[in-house]
Structure formats: C-alpha cells, structure tokens
C-alpha cells in the first residue's frame, strides 16, 4: 500500500496502491457511507490514542473492519454467512 488517508470527521478511509499485479493504474479503495454502488454502505471511523484507529461498517455491501495499531493495518471482510472472507495486513510507515 502506498498511501493511507484517514478522515475521522468524514468517517472516511482511503487505501491507495500505485501499481498492483495486473494493472498499471492506481487502485483506490474508499470506505465511506454512500449509496452510489448499487447498495447503501455505512462506515464509521473512531480514533484511538496516537495514530491508532478502527473503522467499521459495510464496503460494497460486505461487513468490513479496518484497524491501525502500532503501524499494522488490518483489513477484514466478511461474507453473508458472517465468515471471514478476506484478511489483509499491511505494515505502515510515516
């Protein structure tokens, strides 16, 4: 991951990757409350101490949790049965 933007006031998290396998374009994942993708997503961000935070809600209709603690970003997504369908961990640096 190349860039992480967190806006607690707007309940928004942006994860950006400049290049990824299979594409030469930047890839963006934006977690925010919206209704423009054929569903209605809700997302909230809560700041912890220091740079730590937790974001939770739905992303493209799937339950999603993102946490940042001690420089580790953890992104969990769940399927309709409540099972963990995807887990990604990134090490973040300032």
pLDDT at 66 over 90: yes
pLDDT at 35 over 80: no
pLDDT category of residue 94 using cuts at 50, 70 and 90: low
* pLDDT of 37: 63
* pLDDT of 17: 80
In sequence order, what are the residues at sequence separation of 6 or more whose Cβ sits closer than 8 angstroms to the Cβ of residue 64? 31, 43, 55, 56, 57, 58, 75, 76, 77, 78
Q: What's the pTM value of the predicted model, to 2 decimals?
A: 0.77
């Amino acid at each position: 991951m190349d860039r992480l933007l967190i806006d607690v006031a707007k309940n928004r998290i942006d994860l950006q990757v400049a290049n990824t396998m299979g594409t030469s374009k930047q890839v963006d994942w934006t977690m925010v409350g919206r209704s423009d993708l054929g569903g209605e997503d809700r997302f909230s961000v809560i700041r912890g101490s220091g740079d730590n935070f937790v974001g939770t809600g739905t992303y493209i209709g799937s339950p999603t949790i993102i946490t940042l603690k001690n420089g580790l970003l953890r992104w969990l997504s769940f399927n309709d049965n409540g099972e963990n369908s995807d887990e990604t961990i990134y090490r973040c640096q300032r």
